[in-house]
Amino acid sequence: MLSANSCWIIYLTGVKPIMSFDTEVLIIGAGMSGLGLAVQIIRNYGIRNFELIEKSDDVGGTWLANTYPGCGCDVASHFYSYSFALNPDWTRKYSMRPEIQAYFRSVAEQYRVVDHIRFHSVLEKAVWKDLDNVWEATVLDLQTKERIVRRAKILVSSVGSLSVPKACNLPGAETYQGNGCSATQFVPIMANEPSPARKLTQFGRQAQYLAERQNPYYSNTFKAVMRYVPLAMRLYRAKFYYEMERDWSGFDIETGRNIRQDLAKENEAYVKSMAPPRCWDALIPKTEIGCKRKVLDTDYLKTLWRDNIELVANDPVEKITETGVINFTLRLLEPILKSLPSYQSRSFIRQILAPPPTTVEVKSEAAMADFRWTQSAAKKLVWASGCVNWAVDPKTGLNNMMYPDWQFMYWLRSIFWKKHDFVYRDERTGGEVRPGSGKVTIWLATAGALACGAYFGRDWIQVELPQRLGELITRG
């Protein structure tokens, strides 16, 4: 269950003579994805000739851009972090925005990535120069308005979708003085002590499943265990991975029906135990659980008991005035990711920068085949069960955001690819070259898949595992 707001898109094409360039790798964005790629090319390849283009004044992406009260993450911090930069000092299970952004800043400083970032800058355009085998990128400095041109062998887009709000389309929205945020995080802070609002009216749109969020602070003893006991952090991280894969088994519309029904009953019971009865109809969804992202309760349900808050669910807003209070819930741009699959960037970087200098071109029919597989698989999952969600484009019906398979399958696909779907060429001769077979990696992946199967049971190993391995072997 991986979202595209943590992916890399790499654009590579063309062949011809050897080029000259300003930087080997040009990365657009210094959020979780761009920063992670920069660190990995340092760790794995020792490359220091790279640059990042970042529109803000610091790293962190969405965790820098979103500053509303109560902003935090609904994924456990020991899992929502880099595998190569584990942090034993997380203060609690689900961290808040300042701590998450500080973590990314510390990683950037540890690997000296900050020295390679052009802050307050945006990419205006990028053109592949076929004669020179380089990307020519025009970069605008947002402060000085000066434009520079950077030439790079590899251009990677690590632009996310959670830092750019979509404008409200209600009449009068442009006159309202203020901004919006995620209501279940914001409302408890606005309504409760120490500075509660005198009157807070929330206009509900669509009900979403709310689940209990146990968010304990970690003790010093726990942090010491994480820091000093060998493999402790790895095992704790694996626990969260297992829990997420276990939940994924309920996403298939047919085979996961019983799992979803049990989870829906559990969530409904929780809402009724925490929220006032007058709000139950507005809070309990009629849609399938999992179709919309589940919301972790940050004391929101308990807050609805207060006299100073009103939840309006059956009176939709028609117009906004300059001082009106409205359901201005933050919505985000959802870019359609096309062409080259985004999960293989690091593997291609190795191939391109290793001698002899190589260019890579993905065949259009291969890209379309992958696109068709993604859409076909997504239609069998709960996202396509009829609700409005951010994974499915309401205009096209396409799933543009979510990978429709197990997380470990996403990982395996980042290792293996069908070699005949790509054209590798030696820049010096223009002749086609072929990558290695990777047989050792296939055996290692098989062992890893068996270990994953141990989590899911004998039926999974006997039925689904052979099918998955067959798909991977045909990639060679």
Of the candidates 123, 176, 177, 132, the residue with the CA atom closest to the CA atom of residue 150: 123
Q: Is residue 473 included in any domain, yes or no?
A: no
Give the pairing type, strands 9-11 and 147-157. Answer: antiparallel
Give the HSE-up count for residue 268: Cα atoms under 13 Å, Cβ half-sphere: 13
Q: Any idea how long the chain is? A: 476
Q: Find all residues with CB under 8 Å of 231, minimum gap 6, and list them.
A: none
* pLDDT top residue among 437 and 405: 405
Q: Give the whole-angstrom CA distance, residue 53 versus residue 141.
A: 10
Q: Is residue 455 included in any domain, yes or no?
A: no
Give the pLDDT score at 356.
61
Domain boundary among 332, 365, 383: 332
Give the pLDDT score at 388.
81
Other Cβ atoms within 10 Å of 92 Cβ, number: 14
Q: Is residue 446 included in any domain, yes or no?
A: no
pLDDT exceeds 90 at position 42: yes
Domain check: are 278 and 392 in the same one?
no
Give the pLDDT score at 411.
86
pLDDT exceeds 80 at position 426: no
Longest dimension (CA), the chain: 76
3 state SS of 349: helix
Q: Amino acid identity, residue 59?
A: V
Domain check: are 310 and 341 in the same one?
no
Domain check: are 325 and 349 in the same one?
no
**Per-residue confidence band for 203, with pLDDT thresholds at 50, 70 and 90:** confident
CB 70 within 8 A of CB 92: no
Other Cβ atoms within 10 Å of 450 Cβ, number: 12
Give me the DSSP letters along 199-253. Answer: -EEEE--S---EEE---PBPPHHHHHHHHHSTTHHHHHHHHHHHHHHHHHTT-BT
Helix (H) and strand (E) counts for the chain? 15, 16
* Mean of all residue pLDDT scores within the chain: 80
Q: Give the range among 9-13, 157-161, 325-329 with minimum mean pLDDT.
A: 325-329
pLDDT exceeds 80 at position 107: yes
Q: Find all residues with CB under 8 Å of 47, minimum gap 6, and list them.
A: 24, 25, 41, 353
Q: Is residue 68 included in any domain, yes or no?
A: no
Other Cβ atoms within 10 Å of 428 Cβ, number: 11
Residue with tokens 């300042």: 98
Q: Amino acid identity, residue 468?
A: R
Domain check: are 277 and 387 in the same one?
no
- Range 430-436, long-range pairs (CB < 8 A, 24+ positions): 430/15, 430/16, 433/356, 433/358, 435/351
pLDDT exceeds 50 at position 390: yes
Phi, psi (degrees; rounded to nearest 5) at 39: -65, -40
Task: Tell me what the mean pLDDT of segment 305-322 comes to.
Answer: 72
**Per-residue confidence band for 316, with pLDDT thresholds at 50, 70 and 90:** low
Domain check: are 364 and 309 in the same one?
no
Give the pLDDT score at 416.
77
Q: Find all residues with CB under 8 Å of 156, minimum gap 6, and list them.
A: 8, 9, 10, 11, 25, 26, 27, 28, 34, 37, 345
% the chain with pLDDT above 90: 42
Whether the ω angle into residue 356 lies within 30 degrees of 0, i.e. cis, is yes
Q: Give the whole-angstrom CA distance, residue 211 versus residue 324.
A: 30
Domain boundary among 275, 310, 332: 332
Domain check: are 322 and 338 in the same one?
no
Q: Is residue 464 included in any domain, yes or no?
A: no
Q: What is the DSSP letter of 383?
A: G
Residue with tokens 């080029």: 19
Q: Amino acid identity, residue 224?
A: A
* Residues 172-182: tens digit of each pLDDT: 655 544 434 46
Domain check: are 142 and 14 in the same one?
yes
Taking the alpha carbons at both ends of the chain, their separation in whole angstroms is 25
Q: Is residue 462 included in any domain, yes or no?
A: no
3 state SS of 312: strand
Provide the token pair at 19.
């080029």
Give the pLDDT score at 16.
42
Q: Give the whole-angstrom CA distance, residue 300 versus residue 212.
A: 10
Range of the domain at 419: 4-59+113-163+333-436
Domain boundary among 332, 364, 386: 332
Task: Tell me what the mean pLDDT of segment 407-428 comes to.
Answer: 81
Give the pLDDT score at 69.
83
CB 75 within 8 A of CB 243: no
CB 80 within 8 A of CB 179: no
Whether the ω angle into residue 335 lies within 30 degrees of 0, i.e. cis, is no
* Residues 136-155: tens digit of each pLDDT: 999 999 999 999 999 999 99
CB 374 within 8 A of CB 402: no
Give the pLDDT score at 47.
86
Domain check: are 296 and 387 in the same one?
no
Give the pLDDT score at 189.
82
Domain check: are 118 and 9 in the same one?
yes
Is the pTM above the cut of 0.85?
A: no
- List the CATH number of the domain containing 50: 3.50.50.60
Q: Which residues pair with 154 in a beta bridge?
A: 25
Q: Give the range among 19-23, 33-37, 86-90, 204-208 with minimum mean pLDDT.
A: 19-23
Give the pLDDT score at 181.
45
Task: Tell me what the mean pLDDT of segment 247-268 comes to.
Answer: 92
Q: Is residue 240 included in any domain, yes or no?
A: yes
Domain check: are 134 and 156 in the same one?
yes
**Per-residue confidence band for 466, with pLDDT thresholds at 50, 70 and 90:** low
* Residues 223-254: tens digit of each pLDDT: 999 999 999 999 999 999 999 999 899 999 99
287-317 CB burial, b ≥16 within 10 A, e <16: bbbbbbeebbbbbbbebbebeebebebeeeb
Domain check: are 239 and 327 in the same one?
yes
Q: How many domains does the chain have?
A: 2
Domain check: are 216 and 234 in the same one?
yes
Q: Is residue 23 included in any domain, yes or no?
A: yes
* pLDDT top residue among 439 and 222: 222
